[in-house]
Amino acid sequence: MTQLEFSCFNNNLDLWLEEKQLFNESYNFVGGIDEAGRGPLAGPVVAAITVSKKIIKIPGVTDSKKLTSKKRLQLKPLIESHPDLYIGIGIVSPKEIDELNILQASLFAFKKALDNVTQKPDFCLIDGNKTSPFIELPQKAIVKGDSKSFLIAAASIIAKETRDAIMIEYDKKWPEYEFAKHKGYPTKSHREALKKYGITKIHRKTFEPVKSLINKKLFTAN
């Protein structure tokens, strides 16, 4: 094992402190939940949950924001194929985001992810500072949980790459918006495309500057 691999291995084990405590408290299956896509002007918010009953080792797993896209793409199949991990995905549409607001939509996405995992956890660790009112299980919110919990970190990678793949598909329908490049975030090129081409059906109508552009009656793209 190289020095880098040894370091990744040890850091991987450090991420299990929250889960270890729950296992010691006799919880059997523990889940970690995270989301991707709160900030973009377009596209869904995507949540993922990873569930396990034991400590596992996948060197390199950490907060998805600290990883390159290349590294996340390498880790995603390792997480998905691990025999001791169960995974669920929850997707909340732009329309639902506008109806609920982005915070509630994210918490609702957590429930959708939980609904879609084959092995339900006995306890959920959630990234952020709020638990989900839509989940009727014991929960704990952890600020920056994706850098403190292995299961949340693994979920963050799945959520991020799942959402990115969705935005890359949208780019094929609306190439002028460059969704594959910015994934719907409010970059300069994205804002300029909005002014030039109008609003698509995947834009969040309650988000600025989309809301103001609608009020100015800019046409809507198909």
What region does 89 belong to: left with phi over 0, alpha with psi -120 to 50, or beta? beta
SS3 163: helix
Query: Length of the chain, please?
Result: 222
| CATH 3.30.420.10 segments of the chain | 3-171
0.75 surpassed by pTM: yes
Measured at the CA of 32, the angle between CA 131 and CA 166, to 5 degrees, comes to 95
Report pLDDT digits (tens) over 12-31. 657 999 999 999 999 999 99
Amino acid at 173: K
Report pLDDT digits (tens) over 184-194. 999 999 999 99
Q: Which of 79, 86, 91, 74 is nearest to 35 (CA)?
A: 91
Report pLDDT digits (tens) over 71-123. 999 999 999 999 999 999 999 999 999 999 999 999 999 999 999 999 999 99
Report pLDDT digits (tens) over 137-181. 999 999 999 999 999 999 999 999 999 999 999 999 999 999 999
The CATH class given to the 3-171 domain equals: alpha beta
Partners of 199 in the β-ladder: 220
In the numeric block, which tokens belong to residue 46? 């995507």
Residues 142, 158: Cα–Cα separation, whole Å: 18
Packing angle, helices 150-173 and 69-81, rounded to 10? 120
